[in-house]
Structure 1
Amino acid sequence: MTRSVLVLNSGSSSLKYSVIQPDSGALVADGIVERIGEDGGVADHAAALQVAFDALADEGHSLDDLGLAAVGHRVVHGGPDLYRPTVVDDALIARLEELSPLAPLHNPPAILGIEVARHALPDVPHIAVFDTAFFHDLPPAAATYAIDHEIAAQWHIRRYGFHGTSHQYVSEEAAAFLGAPLESLSQIVLHLGNGASASAIVGGRPVETSMGLTPMEGLVMGTRSGDIDPGVITYLWREAGMSVEDIETMLNRRSGVRGLGGEIDFRTLRRRIESGDAAAQLAYDVYIHRLRKYIGAYMAVLGTVGVITFTAGVGENDAAVRRDALSGLAAFGLELDEHLNDSPARGPRRISADGSPTTVLVIPTNEELAIARACAQVLAG
């Protein structure tokens, strides 16, 4: 029987699931259960997992026939010590609970999803795969914040980076697409979705990334602010009377493109821009400005950039974002082929002009496959 891995991504109100054969990369089935704990939805994560099992059975995939070798769990924050894919046990659960303050929106539902899945599938190894793992060995100059070093050490404050499974997968796929050794490439990877992050990678190892202690730092995102003067936080606390919780919620859920333009779907945002909506235009302009700033900064960090790759929902599907992010940069070795960039193709592809010193690619990310492969490596020892 061909072995498979059930990959689970547990959010506070959703459960994404995929069944993947890690050896071939084949996707057997996938889906999402939404509105967990909300009106019109299922009661809790246990009920959501059962809905997923029922959906798999309806598609002809009974649990007994799937050949499940492992259940892989996406965990956003591994803190300073958890960076290798790790078999879940009670001690790991306790450690993840200790780390929850570092990712209060992400780790608690991940822990809940793990506990529910362990109860439902007690005879299958459960493996945690961490978003922060790829960036664990960032150079100290990139990982270190310029704050009191004793406080930073006591509270584990550093740049951890996120979307690591995506950045690693895409950088490796870019090398494979080009037929070039990964060790020979200097790359910038732009993961542009509702969450957005950038990385600079040399020889397959990251040397810089935009997200930091939490997934809030860096690029403008769908609902998150990205970079912000920390003085804004103390100002709002002191002068506006906002609580720390209110400020955190605002920066996480009511900022970014939504906070500026009232919308996170770039297709809707585009239609509003075309109708003359000034707020939508400003939201887009701020988004692009920050993105270009990071591209320029990472070009300086790398010195020479061989490949820039766009990935994730916006990066893979929005030609205008790609065009505007790189427009006017021909003097720096970046030149798009407009026809290739506007192509409706959805697979891995080159979109840079012939003769462009820097190759520009679009590579669809596949974090679920990356997690499944990581689980297979753990099982192989």
Structure 2
Amino acid sequence: MNIFVLNSGSSSIKYQLIDLDTEEVLARGLVERIGEPGQVPDHQAGIAAVLTSLGDARIDAIGHRVVHGGDRFDRAVIVTDEVEAAIEELSVLAPLHNPANLTGIRAARAAMPGVPNVVVFDTAFHQTLDAAAYTYAIPADLAREYGIRRYGFHGTSHKYVSERAAAFLGRPLEQLKIIVLHIGNGASATAIDGGRSIDTSMGMTPLEGLVMGTRSGDLDPAVVLELQRRAGLSVDEVDDVLNKRSGLLGLSGYSDERDVQKAAVEGDEAAEVALSLYRHRIRHYVGAYAAQLRGLDAIVFTGGVGENNTLVRRRVLRGLEFMGVHVDPDRNEVASKSERRISPDNWPVSVLVIPTNEELEIARQTAALI
């Protein structure tokens, strides 16, 4: 079965064609700058160009990444007109993402009317959170009216990585207590108990939680009020500051963790402070989630930084030996793209590096539905 996986942005289409029988990627690519002068005019034309490049390759189904499913979708669903309408309604919760995702869905349905389409939501995996984990302590009527609650994101990655971790350890997922650290330019932590997400660091939007490349992460809400009252910033300006000008960028001038690390090594004090805060916040969530899980079997690093940065992994978990957590320095330094253990064999908590594969997870969920 060949699954065509699409991730549509506002001006781009990222795609993979995956043979699920072998899990081989038959084709992959990226269409960029859609709508710009001299480029592909729209998503319909972009998908047509992709299909032309694929030639006579068979496509049995199309799987789409959609960022926000609100509290309506706790699993992948086959696309219908009603599902399209629901995604459009939920755009108020993800105005930068859902409309772009929906544009790709509509273009794909128009281009291949006989092929089933499936949407996989970033938020769906976290719909198992209890009310205590997803509720904000604001007036309940306001929360209900405006859909204000914690939803969580990166769910497709957290689901895939936790299942791969269980397979690596040779233990049933239902028996494991796992913390997954998806650390890239965007970053989130999730506590997974028996395969269920019970807590996660991102909230109503991807802004909450860990310090990220350009996002602030956790913040006293009064900071927003101060920026409006004293700095005279508008709502949109505050949004821009917290989402695009904060995080590592705001602290050090660099959004890429590798650049921050290099600057810190060269004696840049601001960069060193940024890295310390970055690691402090991750360690904070590790401790909190170990408590929520009431035990811990594994910590799993994934994402661009989590998979590749040996220093971040070592520094984040340094000093947690009292929790049964230890990183073997030799194993940690091994450069590899494979799933691997970086803790000693005989320690209570397994520390793993599991490369994420959201496209494959989307393909699997798509195939399971059709």
The 1-side partners of 2:143 and 2:258 are apart by 41
Structure 2 match to 1:85: 76
Residue of 164, 171, 195 corresponding to 1:173 = 164
Matched position secondary structure for 2:128: coil
Residue of 20, 30, 44 corresponding to 2:18 = 20
Structure 1 match to 2:87: 96
Q: Deviations over 1:27-70 (max 9, x none)?
A: 1121222333346754332343344334xx3xxx42x3x22111
CA contact (8 A) 1:23 1:373 kept: no
Matched position secondary structure for 2:237: helix
Q: After the TM superposition, which residues 1-381 of structure 1 pair with which residues of structure 2 at under 5 Å, given as runs?
A: 3-38=1-36, 41-54=39-52, 57=53, 61-62=54-55, 64=56, 66-379=57-370
Matched position secondary structure for 1:297: helix
Shift of 1:234: 1.7
TM-score, length-normalised on structure 1?
0.93
The 2-side partners of 1:195 and 1:23 are apart by 31
The 1-side partners of 2:75 and 2:277 are apart by 36
Moved more, 344-353 or 276-285: 276-285
4+ aligned runs moved over 6 Å, structure 1: none
Q: Which runs of 5+ in 2 are unaligned?
A: none
Q: Deviations over 1:100-155 (max 9, x none)?
A: 11111211111111122222222211111101111112112111111111211222
Are the structure 2 counterparts of residues 145 and 344 from structure 1 closer, same or farther at C-alpha, using a change threshold of 3 Å? same
The 1-side partners of 2:147 and 2:87 are apart by 14
Matched position secondary structure for 1:219: coil
The 1-side partners of 2:8 and 2:284 are apart by 33
Residue type of the alignment partner of 1:26: E
The 1-side partners of 2:39 and 2:309 are apart by 31
Shift of 1:90: 2.2
CA contact (8 A) 1:45 1:113 kept: yes
Matched position secondary structure for 2:60: strand
Shift of 1:268: 2.2
Matched position secondary structure for 1:73: strand
CA contact (8 A) 2:248 2:257 kept: no
TM-score, length-normalised on structure 2?
0.96
The 2-side partners of 1:23 and 1:83 are apart by 26
CA contact (8 A) 1:9 1:74 kept: yes
Shift of 1:283: 1.8
The 1-side partners of 2:305 and 2:182 are apart by 8
CA contact (8 A) 2:342 2:352 kept: yes
CA contact (8 A) 1:194 1:221 kept: yes
Q: Deviations over 1:328-381 (max 9, x none)?
A: 1111111111010010111100000232210000001111011001111110xx
Matched position secondary structure for 1:294: helix
Matched position secondary structure for 2:179: strand
Matched position secondary structure for 2:64: strand
Q: Which runs of 5+ in 1 are unaligned?
A: none
Are the structure 2 counterparts of residues 99 and 315 from structure 1 closer, same or farther at C-alpha, using a change threshold of 3 Å? same
The 1-side partners of 2:213 and 2:29 are apart by 22
The 2-side partners of 1:128 and 1:263 are apart by 34
Matched position secondary structure for 2:28: strand
The 1-side partners of 2:197 and 2:183 are apart by 17
Residue type of the alignment partner of 1:144: T
Moved more, 34-43 or 149-158: 34-43
Residue type of the alignment partner of 1:163: H
The 1-side partners of 2:264 and 2:37 are apart by 34
Matched position secondary structure for 1:68: coil
